[in-house]
Structure 1
Amino acid sequence: MISGKIISGSSLIVVLALSSCTGNFDDMNTDPNNARTTRDIFYMTKAIVSTAYDYQKSAYMDEPASAGRYITMVRNEGNDTWGWDAGSWDADYLRLTTVKELRDIAETEKADQYVAVADILEVFNFAYITDRWGDIPYLEALQLSGDKEIVHPQYDKQEDIYPDLLKKLEEANNRLDTATGDIDENNDALYQGSKEGWQKLANSLRLRLLLRCAKKYTDAIPQIQEIVSHPEKYPIFTGNGDNAEVPYVGTFKWPGGPTGGGGNLTDPFAEFIKRKPSKEFVDFLQQRNDPRLPMLVDKTTGDPAQATVDHHPYVGVPNAINSPYDYNGGDEHISTLALDLFYKDQDAAVRASLMTYPEVCFILAEAAQQNGVNVPGETAESLYYKGIKAAMDYWGVSREADDAHYYDQPAVKYDGTLKQLIGQKWAALFLKGPEGWFDYRRTGDILDFNSRIGPAASQHNIPYRFIYPDNERNLNREAYDKAIAVFGEDTRNTKMWYLK
C-alpha cells in the first residue's frame, strides 16, 4: 500500500472560466472552516471545469471515442486504424497541479470540505492517467518546487496506485461527513455546495474503480459489498439528479465534442463532419427500435434506395475501411450525430460528464450478477432495468420506450448474461467518457468489436493502452527504463496490471 503525499507543482494552466467565477468574492463568508480567499475559489472552479471539459473532450475527439466504438473517423482516421503513436499526459499533470494548489490552500486553512473535494478530483485525474498508460509517475509526480524538487519522477506500479486511490476516496467521503464548513455554492460547478453530492461522487467513483480492478484486487468485491450495505455511511448516486456533470457556457458549439468550439458544417474537414456515429452503435440501437436513436443520430439525407450497402434510414460507418467518407455511396448516405442536439448552442442535454447514474446501476448489476454482491432491495435483473430506464430518462425518451414495449423485446428482456448487460451499459454511456473502451478491455471484447475491424487497420485488435509520451524516453529515460523493465514492453498491446 502506498503512503505519502504528492507535492504540487508550480505550473498552472490558463483557467477555463465559468460565469460564476466572476462573482463578488468580497462578500464571501470568512469562517475559518471555509475558503477565505479568491484563490481557493479560483482553484476549485478551475480544477472542476478543466477536469470535466477535458475528460468529455476525449470521449468525442480522441482515441477513447474510437476505441469504445462510439465514433468512426471518416477523415484523418488514424484513431480508428489503431496505429496510435505516443500519447501526451502533459495536460493531465497540469490539471493535477491546479488540484494540488487547491488542496494545499485548503490544508493550510484547515478547510476539510475543500481538502475532500481536491482529493476526489485528484483521484479522478490520476485514475484516468493510469487507466490509459498503466504504471505512471505518482508519488514523485508534481514535485516541481520546494525542498523536495523532483524533475525526473520515478514510476509507481498500478497495483500500488489503485489501492491508494481507493483509500483516498474513502477518506474523502469520511472527511465530508465530519466537515463543519460549507462549500461555496456559487463556485461549485458540480454540486452547488452540496457535500452529500460530493460524497455520492466519491463513493460512486470508488465503485467504478473497484469493479475495474476486481479480477486482480482481492479486496474489491468486499469493498463493493461494504458500500452498498451501508448507504447511510457511503451514499451513492440514486438518480440522474446526482450525475457529476458540468454545463457548458457561452454561445459556441459543444466544446467537448462536435466542433471543439467552432467549425463550418459545409467544410468536410470540420471536426463535426469527420466524426460519424459508428456502425456498431447505430446498428445496436436500430436493431432494438431504440427511441434514443432519433434523439442522438440524424437520418441520412439521401434516398436510402440509392445507397450502395446499407439501405436503412440511419447508417453508421464501419471501422478501419478504405475511403470511409465514400461508404454507402458517400456523405448523403451516412448519418451524422443529431445536429439539433450536438450542434446547438448550450443544449441542456449536452454536458461535460464525469459519471452518471446509469453507469452506477450497471456497475451494481454486474457486481450482483457476476460476483454475488447483495444489493439490498435489488437483484441483478432489477438493476439492469434501472440502468436502461435511467438512460432513457437521461435523454428524455422514457415514454417512447414504454409505448414501444422496448423492454419486452427478446434482445432487451433480461437473460442473465454479461454480454447483454455490458451491451446496454455501453449504449447508455454513449459519449460519456472512455468507459466503452475500458469495458472492452476488462471483459475480453465481449461485444465482439474486434471481429468487425476493417482491412485498413494496422492491427486486428483495439489497443489496450497508450504508449508512454516521447518526453519520458527523451527527458526521463532512467525512470522510463526502470518502469518498462517491470511493466513490460511499451506498446499499445501490453496489458496493465488489472487486465493481466
Structure 2
Amino acid sequence: MFNKYIVLFFTIAVFCGCTTDFEEINTNRNDPVDVDAGYLMSSVIVNTTYKLTKENVEGVMGVPSRYVTRVIHNADDTFKWDAEDWGYAFSFLVDNEDLLQKAREKEDPHLEAIALIIKGYLFGILTDTYGDIPFEDAFGAGEENFTPVYSRQESIYTEVLNFFEQANELLTRKGNLSFYAGYDPMFSGDVLAWRKLANSMRIRYLLHIASKKPEAYTTLQSMLNDPETYPLILSNEDNALIPYLGNKKSDASPLGSYDNDFYDRRPSKVFVDYLLDRNDPRLPVWVREVADPKAGTVDNNAYVGLPIALHGATNYNGTTNHTDYESSNYSEFGTIFHEDSNPLFNAVIFQASEMYFILAELLQEHGITYPGETAESLYLKGIKTSMEQYAVADQAEVQNYYDQELVAYNGSLEQIIAQKWVSLLFVAGSETWFDHRRTGFPVFPFGPLSIREEIPYRMPYPSEEASYNAENYEKAINDQGWSADDNYEKIWLLR
C-alpha cells in the first residue's frame, strides 16, 4: 500500500508540474518508456477509479445500491430518474483509446493489455447501466456532426469479454510494464496483479451474461480448473485500488472535508439494520453512533439508519438539526470516510471479497466446482476477507460472528448476495445494483415517496442523445423493444 501512495503522489505531481527536459526525455530512443503513454496510463487509471467510486457514493448510480439515503436532495431516492449523463465513462474512454493506440504503435503488449482492461471495465459498466450504447462507433467525436450508432448489448458483451481474455494473454508476453512502474498507481508495474484483475473482471461479466448464454458456465469452469493460466484476485493484497491522498478535492475521499453534502448523505436504514441484526464488527468502522440514543423518538439504537424516500427526513427520529451532530438522531458515515485520506477507505474497482462471493454463488447455484472448496467455505472466506480489509477480523472471531444463525451458511442465494452487498460498500461502479437486478437480492424496503416498489432496471440515456442523435437514439429504443426511454425498461441481459 505504501508503494501505491508513492506512485500516486508522483503521478499527481507530474500532472500538476512540468519539465524543461520533456522533449529530450520523450525522444530518447534508448529509453523503453514512452512518457506520453505513461502519463496517459496514469491519468486513465486514477481518473477512472476515483470517478467511478465518486459516482457510487454521490451519483444516481449509487442510489439503487441502498448504502446511502439523502436527507434533503432526495429526488433520486424516489426512483424518478431523468436523463443521466454518461460522460463520467466516455470521457475517460477517449483518453484510454489514445493509450491503446500508442501501445499498439509501440508494439507493447503490456500497455495494450492495461488499456483493454480499462476499456472492458468502462464499457461493461455503461452497457449494464443503459443497455444498447455507442460502441463500435463511439470514438468519432472529433468529426463534424458526429452521430454515433448504438451497438446491441449482446455484441458489446462479446467484445468486453474478449478484451479481458486478450489482456490476460498479452500480459504473458514479453513487454515493458516493469519500466512503467512509476506510472502505474494501481499495481506499480506488477504484471501478475494486472492478470488477476483481467481474469477477475472476466469472471464478473461471465456471471452477468450466463443466464442469457449458458455456455459461459463452461468457460467459467475451464478458467477455475486452470489457476496458473487464469490467476484471480483472492487476497486483499491483490485488490485493484487507488488510495486517497487527501491533498485536494480531486484526490480526497468523496465523503471528506471537501464534500459540502456530507450531512445530506446518511447511512441507509436497510444497511444499518442489516449490520445491527448481526452484531457486525464492521458497523462502528463504517457508521458513527448518534450523540444521544435516548433522544430518538422512533429508534433508540446507538446506530440509526435513515429510511429511503421519507416525508420530513430532516426531522426523522426527533432530529432538530441534521447538520449538527449533537442535534441529529440518525447516524453519519464513520471517520474513515469523513477523513480526506484513510487507509481503510480507498477507491476500489475490484476486491477479493467479491471474487469469493462470486465463486460461492457459482458452486451453490450452478454446479461449478473449485479445487478444495465448497460453497460454504467460499462464502465464509468472502466475509472473512472483508473483515480483514477493515481490520476487524480478530473481533469477528472473538464475538463468534460466524456462529450466529443469521450468518452461519444456510445454502441460500439471498444470504450470499446480501453479504456480498455489504462487503462491496462504495466499490466503484454499479455491481451491487446489477446483482439486485439479476437476483432480486437483497430485498430492499421502499419509502412513501417511492414512485413504485421496484428498483429501476437502467438509467435513461443522456438528454443530448434525443436532441442531437435522434435517429440512432430512437432506433436503439425500438431495437430493445421499449415503449420509451424509461428507467423501468429492461435491458437485454435482464429479459
TM-score by length of 1: 0.90
Question: Is the partner of 1:276 in helix, strand or coil?
Answer: strand
The 5-angstrom pairing of residues 94-493 of structure 1 reads 94-145=91-142, 151-183=146-178, 184-252=180-248, 255-259=252-256, 262-263=258-259, 270-302=260-292, 304-330=293-319, 331=322, 332-338=328-334, 340-433=335-428, 434-443=430-439, 445-449=440-444, 452-487=445-480, 488=482, 489-493=484-488
Instruction: Specify the alignment match of 1:35 in structure 2.
Output: 33
The amino acid across from 1:297 in the alignment is V
Unpaired runs of at least 5, structure 1: 1-15, 264-269
Deviation at 1:334, TM superposition (A): 0.4
Higher share in helix: 2
**Inter-partner Cα distance in structure 1 for 2:118 and 2:471:** 30
Deviations 1:135-175 (A, max 9, x none): 000000012358xx881111111111101110111011001
Cα distance change, pair 294–204 in 1 and its aligned pair in 2 (3 A): same
Give the AA of the match of 1:283: D
Map of 2:12 onto structure 1? 18
Letter in 2 for 1:335: S
User: Alpha-carbon deviations, 1:459-496, whole Å to 9, x = none?
Assistant: 22111110011111000011111111111231000111
Local SS of the residue matching 1:333: coil
Give the match's secondary structure for 1:354.
Answer: strand
Superposition misfits of 4+ residues, deviation over 3 angstroms: 19-35, 252-256
What's the RMSD between the two structures over aligned residues? 2.0
Q: Is the alpha carbon distance of 1:364 and 1:150 closer, same or farther for their aligned partners in structure 2, counting shifts above 3 Å? A: farther
Deviation at 1:348? 1.3
Q: Residue in 1 aligned with 2:3? A: none
**8 Å contact from structure 2 (residues 252, 341) kept in 1:** no
User: Which consecutive unaligned segments of at least 5 residues does structure 2 have?
Assistant: 1-9, 323-327
User: Within 1, Cα distance between the matches of 2:31 and 2:49?
Assistant: 26
Residues 496, 33 of structure 1: alpha-carbon distance in 2 compared, 3 angstrom cutoff? farther
Instruction: Please tell me whether the aligned partners of residues 56 and 256 of structure 1 are also in contact (alpha carbons under 8 angstroms).
Output: no
User: Using the alignment, how far apart are the partners of 1:29 and 1:236 within structure 2?
Assistant: 37
Question: What's the offset of the Cα at 1:219?
Answer: 2.2
CA distance in 1, matches of 2:401, 2:390: 15
Give the whole-Å Cα distance in 1 for the aligned partners of 2:459 and 2:415.
28
Local SS of the residue matching 1:458? coil
C-alpha deviations, 1:37-66, integer Å up to 9, x for none?
x21111101110111011100110012322
Range 107-116 or range 383-392, more displaced = 107-116
Identity of aligned residues (%): 36
In the TM superposition, residue 432 of structure 1 has moved relative to its aligned partner by 1.2
Instruction: Normalising by structure 2, report the TM-score.
Output: 0.91
Asked whether the equivalents of residues 34 and 182 of structure 1 are also in contact (C-alpha less than 8 Å), the reply is no
| Alpha carbons of structure 1 residues 33 and 477: separation in structure 2 relative to 1, 3 Å | farther
Residues in 2 aligned to 1:232 and 1:370: alpha-carbon distance in whole angstroms? 25
- Do the aligned residues in 1 keep the contact of 2:296 with 2:317 (CA within 8 Å)? yes
Residue 292 of structure 1 and its aligned partner are, at CA, apart by 0.2
How far apart are residue 34 of structure 1 and its match? 4.0
Query: What residue is the counterpart of 1:58 in the other structure?
Result: 55
- Post-superposition Cα deviations, 1:193-230, rounded to whole Å, max 9, x if no partner, equal 01111110000011111111211122221111111111
Could you tell me how far apart the structure 1 residues matched to 2:176 and 2:252 are?
Answer: 34
Deviation at 1:458, TM superposition (A): 2.1
Instruction: State the one-letter code of the partner of 2:241.
Output: E
Question: How far apart are 1:325 and its partner, in Å?
Answer: 1.7
